[in-house]
Structure formats: structure tokens, C-alpha cells
Structure 1
Amino acid sequence: MPLFKRLDENTRLTGRLAAAVEYDGSAYCGWQRLKHAPSVQYEVEQALARVASQPVTVHCSGRTDSGVHATRQVIHFDPPVARSQKAWVFGANANLPRDIAIRWLVPVADDFHARFLALARRYRYVILNQPSRPVLERANATWCRDPLDADAMHRAAQVLVGERDFSSFRAAGCQSKTAWRHLHFIEVHRHGQLVVVDVQANAYVHHMIRNIVGALVDVGRGSQDEDYIARLLSLRDRTQASATAPGCGLHFVDSLYDSQYVLPREPLGPNLLAFLGEWTGERELPDSPLVRYRRGRPLAEDEGHPSLPKYLKKHPKGQRRPASAAEEESP
């Protein structure tokens, strides 16, 4: 099985490297390095720096909020020294806290960028729907004691699929200049006492998934009808929507790239949902303007499309970093 492939300990890698990071976000302010709070990025960079014996800067496929988890956070970095695949993985993991780990590491082309070349990001939100509070799942699932109608939640959510203005599901502090995003799919399924919201999009505005889940839970409880999500979408007003769902139920499970960048395939997480059996890259991506731009094959009519960040309109393959954080798409 690919999961048990032996790590190369003889070849010293010198070019750009990509890796997948898994983490329990309970103790962190999120992925992004901050001066005033613990972050996953800081821990990863410190661990890699110990392997390299000098500073290492990493770039991720998408930032996550405080308390949010990840099973396939793709990163890249340019190693300042040559080390083997085994040395990077084992060395980093030996220096990382127990709630963070490097899953794999591979060499990639020098033009690979974990963030700006990502075609899609996928999340799974896990709700434990039972009368009693969770124990073993308390840190990686959200508890809802009220019975949820997962089928009604799924039907209500389908209005979100496609290119939409997600202003009603956007946090007040969101820095993005536009709330326009392309949601590829959203599915809600029940598996015993677990209700799972599975969503994939080109990118997200701040708290977008957690705000969507908060509204869907109201539909599932029966306190709102199935047209509630459509009404919120048309209002474009966050103040009219439901409460934000907790971060502990959210898992970043996949980041997708063009096939020219060969990254390891692995089962989608979290392990709590391993019985679903789906692996990364099994679903086709939509033929959207952003996907075409990121693959370097845009159409003439794509120019100026509202779903494209401003920097992509000038730099189709996303090689150049935006001038300010406000121009970056949210994860």
C-alpha cells in the first residue's frame, strides 16, 4: 500500500519540497504564524529548522482558524541544505509536538506553490448527533444533542453550489475584497450518530464553512425551513444568519493541484471517517475560470471574471505573491 512506502534515506534532496502536515488544532490559534499566540506554522518551521540547522520558511495551501484540524495541509519550502527524505520526515516529527506530524514529503518542480496553485480545498465538518456529550470525540467533533434531519440539510445546501456571493456566510473581520467564491459541491450525510458536511470550493471567505454549518444545523433541527439557506444567500447580510459553528468539528482534508504536480495519494481524513474509503483526487474538478487560470489554460472570456483574485488576472499561474494580505484568497 502507498501508505507504507519506504522513505528514501540515501538521496539528498536539494530542490523545492512539498509535504503534508496533519494536526490537531485544539491548542493553536490556527495555521498562520502570529506573535501573540501559538500557531501550527511556527511549530513546523521550528522543527524543520532543527533538521536544517538554520531557519526554514514554509508556505501552506490554506490557512485554518483557531481550533480547526487538518489531515492534508499541503506545504512547500525551499530547503537551505540537502537532506534525505527520511531525514526531513523523521527529523521534523521528532521535534514536533504530539499534536502535529509530517505525513509525507516529496520533491516538486521549482514553480510549485502550495497556496497559489491550489485548484480546490476540501473540508469535512463532523457533528456527533446524540443525547449524551462526547468523550473520545470531544476534540474533533461538534456535539449536537437535538435530532438532525441530515437529508433536509443536504437538500437545503444545494443552492450554495456554483459561483455565488457568500456575504451572508462571511465573518465581519474578513479581509478579502470580495465574497465571490466557487463552491464545487456540498454534501450532508448521516453515518450512524455522525452527521458529516463535506464541502469543496476554490477558496473560502473567513468562517464561511462554519457559518454555513451553523445555518444548516438550524435547518436540521427544524427551527428553519429548507428555503432558509437560499434566503440567506440572497440577503447578502451576515447579521441575518445563524450562529457560527464551533471550530473543533472542522477538518481540512484535501488540497488539489494540476496533474503535472505529482503528490502522494492517500485516504481522506479524518480517521474517524476512514470507513468512507475515499482517496484524494477521486472527484473531477469543475471547468471553471479559476481552475483554467491555475492550470495555465484560460479562455478569452475568463478575463476579468469576478471569481478570479486580482493578482491572478495579471499572473495566470499565481507565481507572484499579492501585494497585500487583503488581496489573498482566504482558505
Structure 2
Amino acid sequence: MSDKYCPKKEQLNKITPIVLPHYSFEKDDVMFMNFRKKKIDSRSKQILKSINGRDSLYEILLKQPQFTIEDFSKLEESGFIILCELKYVTDKVKNKIVILSPHADDAIFSLSGLMIKYLNNFEFHIINIFGHQDFTLYNDFADDKIESNFVHKEERLAWFVLYIQNGVFLPFKDAAMRLSYSDRPIINSDVDSKTIIHFEKELFEDICSQINALIKTIKPAYIFCPLGIGRHVDHIIVREAAIANKNLYKTLCFYEESPYMISFDRAGEINEVEIKTQKKLKKRKIDISNEISEKRKLLNLYKSQLKKFQVNAMIRHSQADDLHYYETYWKFR
């Protein structure tokens, strides 16, 4: 074979196959999300069972010479595994970026291109505010057949792939789990931000307190918070908590949330932030064209939250032309 199909030992030693957390083994069956059998050929089953999450691709192929690199590539394309490439990350002192993520997934969905691009320039800290959540695309099975915290496993795997070592889940319940929203819209809320905050004043104050304490400790150069596109009440609460502290304005950026930005307009949220802060916002775009393939790989990890057509739509929405992809955020002028 040519070198194209036979990477050197050094290359294979940098790649570690990991089985996605959605798959488990029950006797000879591969189970998806612990409740549904997944059809897979016997060779692929053998390969999946050979993966322990520690051995590099080189070590596995050395122990199991009957397998090929193409076997692992096919399993990744089918969504069973991810091939994690060891990243070179400098140990020099770096400026820090805090990303306020309403839920486990918002930061990765919206800003993973930025994280991939600047991994060696900044130390990223992801703060998942509403860390207590139980939504999956398979909620009908959540009570007794599947774990409800798959998104936490997906998030931690994304952090591992991105070499992000500073991620936290705060203990606040997301809106779907709070009784106050049992009969109120959570997304596309027509309630103004002031009323949302007043409605859950104690929760809002607790979130402000924890965010400010963490930021004081981390001392970031930049803070990214959600713009609030789609008016998900949790996103609005996190945004309002960020702009409640005027000391953050010099470092504060507002990211456009994916996938909400596909279906909802941003103009109302920009206007609301500008009126509330009495400051004008300027649009900034990050070219993630070189990072888009890896971003797609990360989005595909979130099987409990996204279907394939949604991943494709999110990638398409970030595409400006045939060659260029962007992530967008807003910053005070």
C-alpha cells in the first residue's frame, strides 16, 4: 500500500479510538442508548470490543493484525467511534477564555470552531450553568430504559477531544425541570427579560453569585455568553446574569447560539442588550474553515441531542461560500 493508506507508527500512536458512550454490549448485541439493538456485522463487533479507550490505533493494530485502518475509519463514519488525535498543546502561560454555556452542549454547538482554532493561544473554561438536565431525543424511554445524563457524557467526551481541562457543571435545574415552567413556553418566550428575571429572582441571584465568583477566580481575558437567540428562558437568564455585572463589559462577548440561529432572528436580542447596557454592539466573525471538519465530528458526538439532519443544517448555516465557514459573536464597540 502507499503511504497514504499506511500512516507511520508515529501518526498511529497519536490516534486513540473511543467508542461513543451511547453504545454498550449485551451478550453479543450492540445496544444503542441501552434500549435498542443496533445491527452491526461480526467483524465490527470484534473491533468495538478491542477498543478500551486507552490504547492507540497503533497498539490495537499490533495486537489485532487482522484489523485494518479502513475498518476503524468505517466505524467512525458510521458513528460508533471517534478517532481522537493527540493534540500538541503548549504548557506556556496563556490568557483565559470563559464560555458561559446555559446547558451542556451550547458552548460546543456554538463555539467549538473557535476553541479548536485557538487551543494553543488560550486556556478555555466552560461553565455549564444549568447542569441538571434530563432532555434527550429519546425521552419516551428516559424513565426506565436509558440514562438521562447522556449529554454529560457527550460533553465530557467533547472536552477530552478538545483537550479542555477546565469544565464545570453547576447544579441548577434547566427550565424543563423547574415547576415554574410546567405551563409556560421555554423557547421563543414572549415574556420580556425583566419579567423572566423577576419571576425567578432567587435563582437569578444565585446564578449571578456563582458566575461572578468563578470569574473572579479565573480572571479571564474574554467572557463569552449567549446572545439569547430563540429566547430560551435559560439563555436569557445567563445573558442577563452576565450583563448585570458592568465590570465585565470590557471582556464580554455575545455568541450566536446554534442551532437556534437557524430558525430565529437575532435583531431583537441585539436591540435589547444595547438598550439595557446603553452600549452599541459590533459583529465579529471567526473564520473556522480549517476547523469545520473537526467541528462536525464534535457535533456528531451529541447523539442524545441532535439528529444527523440537524448537524448538517448547523454546518450549512455557518457556511458563507464554497470555501469559508464562520462562527459569529458580538462585542461592545
TM-score, with length taken from structure 2:
0.31
Largest Rg, 1 or 2: 2
| Greater relative CO, 1 or 2 (CA 8 Å, sep 6+) | 1
TM-score, with length taken from structure 1:
0.31
